[in-house]
Amino acid sequence: MKILFAGDASNMHNCLARELRRMGHEATVASDGSRWMDTERDINLLRRPGRLGALRYLWDIQRALPQMTGYDIVEIASPIFLRLRPHRIARVFDYLKANNRHVVLSALATDMVYYDACHDGHTYRYSDYMLDDQPSPYVGSGEYIAQQQDNWKQPFMREHSDHILAGIDGAVACLYEYYVAYKPVLGNRVAYGGIPIDTQDLDFRPLEQAPDKVRLFIGIQRDRHVIKGTDKLLAAMKRIHARYPDVTELEVVENLPYAEYTRRMRDSHVILDQLYSYTPGTNALIAMAQGLVAVSGAEPEYYDLIGETENKPIVNVSPLVEGDIDDKLAWLVEHRDQLPQLARASRAFVEKHNAARVVAQRYLDFWSTLL
């Protein structure tokens, strides 16, 4: 197949493209490199700040469009796959639809469908926006305001979402949360793909014995600190370090490029990533592939979706249970003799469910139903 990925997030589309090329397909990535992550892309669509940056960005898109035609599949990274106003994105979308065979949505970020599911009162027990029937800490925070999350309530955003949904041929979801949000909307036109992890590029460094000190690692995205719950995870890390100062060490990094981020985590034992998720995200899976134990989201619904009944190495933490993060971290410190076994199970989990070849095949299987 000939595939174009328009937009990217956390290296997901680039990882898929690399694996598809290994499998003999032609794959092109047009993206901004996930901003500060600076991930690989074939067509650079990085928007720089200021008016001149905006004008250059429009010029770069206009110049790139002729290269974005003649593909079997165009996979867009959410309805907001470019850093433009919705009406401008819609024009590019219409161009891509008119000049390629099929357009498919990657459900990999907050959009109208996910936003609605978060607020419907029954799809999730908790989410980025709600904890049971109460607003999450993110709602009303500076992050929420800075990211203009109220825009999802505006008619122009719903019109844009409806336009994209009417034009796509289907969607592939990278998380359980996005899959169950899209299933009532698209029915059989949505598939679960998962997050691809290039296990070939990530060396597994297994623990042979219990470490003298448990090294806890957390990566912070400055503009997503509250929505991901890393503010609460970081606070819990610090409390555990104060409680067990002689047997714990902390490493905290912020907004690192992808390559540097994966390198920095290698010598740690436990990664903390995402509090309000049912599913382990990219950071957790990258860490697990290298032999770290992930403290993240791993609810029963997620394991049911992927059909996993035996190997469940992710340390699930709940935002609905007071003190749950502290209790789980304390258990890991006090039972650090379990870390070698959990590390091996973590690598095996990623190889089975999220290796780039496994995820790429799910995408290919779904795309094949459209061709």
Q: Can you give the CATH number for the domain in which 181 is found?
A: 3.40.50
Phi, psi of 106 (to 5 degrees): -90, 115
Q: What pTM did the predictor assign?
A: 0.94
Give the model's confidence band at 170: pLDDT under 50 very low, under 70 low, under 90 confident, else very high: very high
> So what's the pLDDT on residue 149?
82
Radius of gyration of the chain (CA): 20
Say which DSSP state 214 is in: E
What mean pLDDT is predicted for residues 3-31? Answer: 96
Question: Measured between alpha carbons, how far is 247 from 213 in angstroms, rounded to an integer?
Answer: 4
C-alpha closest to that of 234 among 257, 217, 249? 217
What mean pLDDT is predicted for residues 157-164? Answer: 96
Question: Measured between alpha carbons, how far is 253 from 128 in angstroms, rounded to an integer?
Answer: 22
Residue 266: C-alpha distances to residues 34, 349, 357 (Å): 22, 18, 23
Contacts of 134 (CB under 8 A, 6+ apart): none
Instruction: Quote the tokens at residue 183.
Output: 């299933």
Instruction: Quote the tokens at residue 164.
Output: 């994209």
Q: Is residue 159 domain-resident?
A: yes
Is there a single domain that holds both residue 66 and residue 17?
A: yes
Q: Is residue 158 domain-resident?
A: yes
Is there a single domain that holds both residue 223 and residue 267?
A: yes
The DSSP-derived string for 183-206 is HHHHGGGEEE----B-TTTS----
Question: Measured between alpha carbons, how far is 265 from 271 in angstroms, rounded to an integer?
Answer: 8
> So what's the pLDDT on residue 240?
98
Query: DSSP alpha helices (H): ranges in 65-173?
Result: 86-98, 112-119, 142-146, 155-167
C-alpha closest to that of 220 among 175, 273, 258? 273
Q: Is residue 316 domain-resident?
A: yes
Q: Is residue 201 domain-resident?
A: no
Q: Is residue 323 domain-resident?
A: yes
What mean pLDDT is predicted for residues 80-107? Answer: 97
Give the model's confidence band at 344: pLDDT under 50 very low, under 70 low, under 90 confident, else very high: very high
Is there a single domain that holds both residue 17 and residue 49?
A: yes
Parallel, antiparallel or unpaired: strands 190-192 and 170-173: parallel
Does the pLDDT of residue 211 top 90, yes or no?
A: yes
Where is pLDDT greater, at 147 or 66?
A: 66
Give me the half-sphere count of Cα atoms (radius 13 Å) on the Cβ side of residue 133: 1
Number of domains in the chain: 2
> So what's the pLDDT on residue 296?
96
Is there a single domain that holds both residue 224 and residue 192?
A: no
Where is pLDDT greater, at 74 or 208?
A: 74
Question: Which single residue is written with the structure tokens 């002689």?
Answer: 246
Q: What is the pLDDT of residues 29-72, one digit of tens each?
A: 999 988 877 889 999 999 999 999 999 999 999 999 999 999 99
> So what's the pLDDT on residue 181?
98
> So what's the pLDDT on residue 290?
95
> So what's the pLDDT on residue 69?
98
Instruction: Quote the tokens at residue 200.
Output: 């070939």
Is there a single domain that holds both residue 64 and residue 189?
A: yes
Question: 71-75, 191-195, 250-254: which has the minimum mean pLDDT?
Answer: 250-254
Average pLDDT of the chain is: 95
Residue 198: C-alpha distances to residues 99, 307, 367 (Å): 31, 21, 21
The DSSP-derived string for 324-345 is HHHHHHHHHHHTGGGHHHHHHH
C-alpha closest to that of 73 among 10, 27, 107? 27
Question: Measured between alpha carbons, how far is 148 from 254 in angstroms, rounded to an integer?
Answer: 22
> So what's the pLDDT on residue 246?
97
Where is pLDDT greater, at 171 or 36?
A: 171
Give the model's confidence band at 223: pLDDT under 50 very low, under 70 low, under 90 confident, else very high: confident
Does the pLDDT of residue 279 top 80, yes or no?
A: yes
Q: Is residue 163 domain-resident?
A: yes
Contact at 8 Å (CB) between 16 and 360?
yes
Is there a single domain that holds both residue 38 and residue 157?
A: yes
Is there a single domain that holds both residue 360 and residue 344?
A: no
Q: Is residue 208 domain-resident?
A: no
Does the pLDDT of residue 106 top 90, yes or no?
A: yes
Question: Which single residue is written with the structure tokens 């997503």?
Answer: 224
Is there a single domain that holds both residue 320 and residue 190?
A: no
Is there a single domain that holds both residue 338 and residue 361?
A: no
Is there a single domain that holds both residue 190 and residue 52?
A: yes
CATH number of the structural domain spanning residue 325: 3.40.50.2000
Question: Measured between alpha carbons, how far is 230 from 227 in angstroms, rounded to an integer?
Answer: 8
Is there a single domain that holds both residue 284 and residue 363?
A: no
Is there a single domain that holds both residue 171 and residue 279?
A: no
Q: Is residue 237 domain-resident?
A: yes
Domain interval for residue 345 = 214-353
> So what's the pLDDT on residue 258?
79
Give the model's confidence band at 293: pLDDT under 50 very low, under 70 low, under 90 confident, else very high: very high
Instruction: Quote the tokens at residue 186.
Output: 């698209």
Stated as kind and residue range, the H or E segment containing 271 is strand 270-272
> So what's the pLDDT on residue 147?
78
Q: What is the pLDDT of residues 110-132, one digit of tens each?
A: 999 999 999 999 999 999 999 99
Give the model's confidence band at 292: pLDDT under 50 very low, under 70 low, under 90 confident, else very high: very high
Give the model's confidence band at 155: pLDDT under 50 very low, under 70 low, under 90 confident, else very high: very high
Query: What percent of the chain stands above pLDDT 70?
Result: 100
